[in-house]
Amino acid sequence: MISSSDMNIRQEIKQLVANERKTNAAVVRKLKEIREKKLHLEWGYSSLFEFCTKELGYSPGAAARRVGAVELAGKVQNLESEIESGELSLNQAQKVNHFLKKEKYKARVIYNSEETRSLVDQVKIRTADEADLFLARKSQVNEKPICEKKRLLATGDLHVHLVYSSELQSKMKRAREILSSINPKFTDTEILEYLLNDFLKRKDPLQKAKRAKTKTINKRTAEPQRTSSRRSRKAIPASIQHQVWLRDEGRCQYRDQETGRECGSKHRLQIDHVKPVAFAGTNEPKNLRLLCQKHNLYNAERLGILGTRPS
C-alpha cells in the first residue's frame, strides 16, 4: 500500500518538473532576446553557444539544446509556450533545428514557416527513436553514416574509433606509399600527424607569419601606407599581415567595452581596419587587428546602424 508521504513525493517531483519546464522556457526566451539584439557579440562571445558554455556554465550538450531551441523559436511561433507546457522538449527542438540546418547547407532545401511548424508537430508526438527515423526519411541529404567515436583518456589523450570508407582507405594507402621512402612502417596515426604538420606549415597564417619574421630579421620592414583612402584600398602587404597575425597571436581581438573581456576566437579570422578605409583608415599595423568573422560583421553592422563615424 502506498503511504501518504510517498504520494507527496510523487506530487513534489511532478511540480519540480513543471517548474523546470517553466525555467527552460524562460531561459529560451531570454537567450532569444540576447541573440536578436546580438548582445553575446557585444559581450565578447563569437557565438551564443560560447556564451552559454563559458558565461552561463552549461555543458556543451545542454548549451546545444538551448541554442537549438532558440534558433527554432525564431522560425516557429509559440515554441517557448510548448516547451513550458511539456508538449515539446529541448531535445526535440534541437533535433528539428539540426535537421533544418543540415537540409539547408547540405541539400540546399529550405523549409518555410508552415513546413517547419509541420515538422515540429510531427516530432513532438513521437519518441526519440521514432523522431530520428521520421527525420531521416524526410531528409534529402545523401549522407554517410556516422563513422567516428571519441573518448577522452585519463592521460589527456583522445581515443578515436574510425570507420574508413573505401575511398579513405585508398587515400591512406597512397599516402603510405608516398611516405614509404621516409619510413616504410608508418602507422596511421603517424601518417595523420605527418600530413597535419605539412598542412599547417603551408596553410596556418600564424606559422607563415613566424617564418616571415625569421626571414626578415635585420631587414627593415616596408613602410606602411600612409596615403589617401583610395590607395589604402589596395591589398594589405603580406609583411604587414604577418605583423598583425604575430602581434594578435592568431586570436580575435574584439573586447567587451564594459568588462574588457576578449573574444579570443581562433575561427574564421579576418584582418579588420579599426578606422575603416572608407573613413580614411590606413593599412598601418596600429590600424589593423584580427577579428573573427562574426565580430567583424557585427562591428561593421553596428557602425552602420549607429551612424557612427570614427574620429
> pTM value?
0.72
- pLDDT for position 211: 85
- Count of CB atoms situated within 10 Å of the CB of 67: 24
Cell of 139: 531528409
Give the Cα separation of 93 and 66 in Å (integer): 9
- pLDDT for position 40: 96
pLDDT in tens, 97-113: 999 999 999 999 999 99
pLDDT level of residue 145 (50, 70, 90 thresholds): low
The residue that leads in pLDDT, 230 or 4, is 4
Asked whether residue 130 carries a pLDDT value surpassing 80, the answer given is: yes
| Cβ–Cβ under 8 Å, residues 263 and 45 | yes
Among 35, 52, 49, 41, CA closest to 296: 41
For the segment 49-57, the average pLDDT, to the nearest whole number, is 96
- pLDDT for position 4: 74
Give the Cα separation of 298 and 43 in Å (integer): 12
Asked whether residue 225 carries a pLDDT value surpassing 90, the answer given is: no
Give the Cα separation of 70 and 35 in Å (integer): 8
Give the Cα separation of 84 and 94 in Å (integer): 15
pLDDT in tens, 160-185: 888 888 899 999 988 988 888 788 88
Please name every residue paired with 290 in a beta bridge, in sequence order, or none if there are none: 271
- pLDDT for position 215: 78
**Helices 113-123 and 90-106, axial angle in degrees (round to 10):** 140
Instruction: Using DSSP, state whether 288 is helix, strand or coil.
Output: strand
Please name every residue paired with 152 in a beta bridge, in sequence order, or none if there are none: 158
Asked whether residue 79 carries a pLDDT value surpassing 60, the answer given is: yes
- Count of CB atoms situated within 10 Å of the CB of 181: 7
Segment among 96-100, 123-127, 306-310 with least mean pLDDT: 306-310
Among 134, 103, 140, CA closest to 119: 134
- pLDDT for position 3: 73
Instruction: Using DSSP, state whether 80 is helix, strand or coil.
Output: helix
Segment among 32-36, 63-67, 212-216, 235-239 with least mean pLDDT: 212-216
Could you give the percent of the chain with pLDDT greater than 90?
66
Q: What is the CA radius of gyration of the chain?
A: 26
The residue that leads in pLDDT, 116 or 154, is 116
| Cβ–Cβ under 8 Å, residues 281 and 233 | no
Asked whether residue 229 carries a pLDDT value surpassing 50, the answer given is: no
